[in-house]
Amino acid sequence: MADTLRGYLERDLKTAMLAKDEIARDTIRFILASVKNQEIEQRTPLSADDDIALLNRMSKRLLEAIEQYDKAGRTDLADRERAQLAIVKRYLPEEMSDEELNALVRSVVHEVGAVAPKDMGRVMPVLLPRVAGRADGKRVSAAVKQALVS
């Protein structure tokens, strides 16, 4: 049971409740609710790729909220969102380093024969599945642009 995202979340929820860690408890409950809602919507259990996509969407929303709270000077709310983001990231695959990402980008650029920035549309569809949630889309896009310009 614990080798699915839902299993990990349920195990960690119990741990957070016993430790009286309110932020972890609430965040894990929110993730579990999102997983359940997506499963209901799809009418099937989520695959590992679906889990990663769901967690990536959640982390992106949290990052946007942090940015907005920081702009508004609400550091208390931004700090809470940062704590929630750290919990969400526990369940995501480890981020790719810049070196790993750049090496993968160079490999794909060479593979598809891209030579100019206009070829970005040929590179991204091949590259994104290989990155699979290990790098933010903005980071990937910037790395591809840099590789195609140089």
Q: What angle do CA 23, 24, 25 make, to 5 degrees?
A: 90
Q: Which H or E run contains 98?
A: helix 98-112
Same domain, 69 and 107: no
Same domain, 42 and 64: yes
Same domain, 85 and 37: yes
Give the pLDDT of residue 5.
87
Under-50 pLDDT residues of the chain:
1
Same domain, 11 and 59: yes
pLDDT tens across 106-141, in order?
999 888 888 888 888 888 888 888 887 788 778 888
User: The tokens 């969407």 sit on which residue?
Assistant: 57
Give the pLDDT of residue 2.
52
The length of the chain is 150
Amino acid at 132: A
Q: State which residues form the domain around 25.
A: 5-89
Q: What angle do CA 30, 56, 24 make, to 5 degrees?
A: 35
